[in-house]
Every structure is written in structure tokens, then in C-alpha cells.
Amino acid sequence: METAPSRLQQLLAFYQDDPNDAFTIYALATEYKATEPLRALEYFQKLLTEHPDYVGTYYHAGKLLEQLQKPDEAEKVYREGLRVSRKAGQMHAASELQQALNQCLGLDYEDEV
């Protein structure tokens, strides 16, 4: 009996069919985050470059950069994400990004940057 394709295999197939689909790229980045963080970062970078209005990317890319001991890069991602999310009127995302930025900078929860 043939085994069903894994989630990762399915996502890679979707990506092969349409390498420009932002949701598929995001899903691949998320899938790789725990096991292959550098590969996940490649997908997040692709999103940041090719789909800068995909607001969901910024928080997770920033967190991954922090995990990889790259706080300066994480700060840049959070700041850009704040700009993009506010421009798009996505205030919940902006609030989460502000909190992540504050934590990244070692500021108190309520401080504004």
C-alpha cells in the first residue's frame, strides 16, 4: 500500500506548480522552521523580497532571525513589518510586531519605539 505524501511533499509539489504563490512559500517556511531553520529563512527572505505586502511574514521571519542570533536583522524586519501592516490597516498584526520589536530591543512591554 502506498503511503500518503507528507505535508512537506505536498507543499513542495504546490511550490513546483506555482513558485510565486505567497501562501505556499509561507507554508514551506513555516514547515521548515523547526527542523531546517536556514532553509525556512530562505523562504521567508523570498517572501520579504517578492511579496512585501504579505503581512504574516514579518513576525515569523523576525522571530526566526532572533532564534538564529541575528537581532539586528530581526529589528529591521519588525520595523518594515510595522510600516507595511499599518499601511495595510492591519492593526492586530502591527500590535504583535510592536510587541516583538520591543522584546527584541529589550524594552518594557508598553514602550513605543
Q: 26 and 41 in contact (C-beta within 8 Å)?
A: no
Whose CA is closest to 66, among 103, 34, 14?
Answer: 103
- Is residue 113's pLDDT more than 80? no
Condensed to tens digits (0 to 9), the pLDDT of residues 1-57 reads 567 779 999 999 999 999 999 999 999 999 999 999 999 999 999 999 999 999 999
The answer to whether the beta carbons of residues 54 and 26 sit under 8 Å apart is yes
Q: H or E stretch including 105?
A: helix 91-105
Q: Report pLDDT digits (tens) over 57-81.
A: 999 999 999 999 999 999 999 999 9
The CATH number of domain 7-105 is 3.20.20.70: no
- So what's the pLDDT on residue 4? 75
62 within 8 A of 52, measured Cβ to Cβ = no
Q: What is the pTM of this model?
A: 0.88
Amino acid type, 81: G
Q: Could you read off the pLDDT of 72-112 as tens digits, one per residue?
A: 999 999 999 999 999 999 999 999 999 999 999 998 655 55
Q: pLDDT exceeding 90 applies to what percent of the chain?
A: 89
